[in-house]
Amino acid sequence: MPDDTRAVRESEALDWPALTAYLRTALPRQPAFAAHHRPGTLDGDLVVEQFGGGHSNLTYLLRFGSVGLVLRRPPLGPVPPRAHDMGREFRWLSAVHPLFPPAPTPLLLCEDTSIVGSVFYVMERREGVIIRHDEPPAVAGHEDVRGAISRSVVDALAALHAVDAATPVLASLGKPAGFVARQVRGWSDRWASARTEDLPAMAATAAWLASHLPPDPARPTVVHGDFKLDNVMLDRDDPTRVVAVLDWEMCALGDPLVDLGILLGYWLAPSSGAPDGGHDALSTVTDRPGWWHRQAILDRYAAQTGLDLSGIGYYETFALFKLAVVLQQIYVRYVRGQTDDPRFAGLGGRVRRLAERAAALTSDGPDRRP
């Protein structure tokens, strides 16, 4: 079993016979699949594993012999309105992939909910390594490699933001005007719907964000929406090379600095120490020597894009606020018994700490410097 997958959690098993029958009929009809696979490719037995790193959508590795595919579907149980829209994610990935090769090739969208109980899509399986709570041997202890990966991650983000958002296939999918205002309003509403306790820090931060909105950018870009180290896949043989950018659920057209703020929000500075005494998707390995400091990230991104980053403090604040809401949406599902994933039991404490961090940043103003 690959090191990034595990056995499927019993409560998250799907109707595998129905899925197998459907894929054997539908996938060979898809040009992107047929171009790379011979007839009969899917005749073998289906072997299923589950990717365990994410906290939101359910993602499975499907294997028919040597052929690997990735299936994504919404989490089980009720989900917030307009969240986990697999059709939207598939359409965005279809539009972005030809213009930004690190985006995996989408293969098939299934809107027939009788197959696995929801809309789902299938995409190609990219091979590589993802750094979450620990580093592979080629990275661990190698400060030069950590620095080179830092550069490659920033460059991948800059390359995404260099994609022409006015390309018709992209322009038809988004509405960049007023993007940040909609984001602030939307995530504030989601907080109100998902909260399990009153957190004055969240209310104060939401109000601050709404009253300090930046102007729309002169050149809107594709915004990934969740750009962070563990959504970037690296080459196994050369971990300084990015082979994929994953998880396009929140993709949109808008202000590129939203992505930069998110990257900074997840990126612990070297020597800062990890919250809660450990490393995971929320507190990654970047506090170790060699990983870039915040200012190096800003300098490289500015050099690659030419953008003015004087107001980046606003976007970092929004990133922490948004992350708190995302975790709260997951935590409330655990509280309501809609998931039994034990990883989610302690998210309430993380939400409180993120709220406090976001509120603390508001005192520095949107032009906070390192």
Q: DSSP string covering 170-204, please?
A: HHTT---TTHHHHHHHHHHHHHHHH-SS--HHHHH
Query: Is the separation of the CB atoms in 107 and 33 below 8 Å?
Result: yes
Strands 242-245 and 232-234 turn out to be antiparallel
Give the orientation angle of helix 257-266 with respect to helix 312-335, to 10 degrees: 60
- Is the pLDDT assigned to residue 134 strictly greater than 50? yes
* 354 vs 344 pLDDT, higher one: 354
- Is the pLDDT assigned to residue 189 strictly greater than 60? yes
Alpha carbon 178 to chain centroid, angstroms = 22
- The pLDDT of 218-236, averaged and rounded, is 96
Class for the domain spanning 143-362: alpha beta
* pLDDT band per the 50, 70, 90 thresholds, residue 46: very high
- Is the pLDDT assigned to residue 83 strictly greater than 80? no
pLDDT at 90: 97
- The pLDDT of 248-275, averaged and rounded, is 85
* pLDDT band per the 50, 70, 90 thresholds, residue 77: low
- Is the pLDDT assigned to residue 341 strictly greater than 70? yes
Where helices occur in 28-67 by DSSP H, the ranges are: 31-34
Class for the domain spanning 5-124: alpha beta
Question: Shortest CA distance to 56 belongs to which of 186, 246, 292?
Answer: 246
pTM score, whole prediction = 0.90
pLDDT at 218: 94
Q: Is the dihedral of CA 327, 333, 338, 344 positive or negative?
A: positive
- Is the pLDDT assigned to residue 280 strictly greater than 60? no
User: What's the length of the chain?
Assistant: 370
- Is the pLDDT assigned to residue 106 strictly greater than 70? yes
- The pLDDT of 110-125, averaged and rounded, is 96
Domain spans in the chain, listed from the N-terminal domain onward: 5-124, 143-362
Cα 233 from Cα 235, distance rounded (Å): 7
- The pLDDT of 285-307, averaged and rounded, is 96
Q: What share of the chain is helix, strand, coil (3-state, %, to 5)?
A: 45, 15, 45
Question: Shortest CA distance to 228 belongs to which of 305, 297, 144, 141?
Answer: 297
Lowest mean pLDDT among 77-91, 156-170, 225-239: 77-91
pLDDT at 348: 86
pLDDT at 80: 54
pLDDT at 100: 98
- The pLDDT of 312-332, averaged and rounded, is 93
Query: Is the separation of the CB atoms in 71 and 264 below 8 Å?
Result: no
Average pLDDT, the chain: 90
Question: Shortest CA distance to 326 belongs to which of 253, 278, 266, 256?
Answer: 266
pLDDT at 55: 59
pLDDT > 90: what percent of the chain? Answer: 75
- The pLDDT of 139-166, averaged and rounded, is 97
pLDDT > 70: what percent of the chain? Answer: 90
- Is the pLDDT assigned to residue 81 strictly greater than 90? no
Cα 64 from Cα 267, distance rounded (Å): 37
Cα 211 from Cα 104, distance rounded (Å): 38
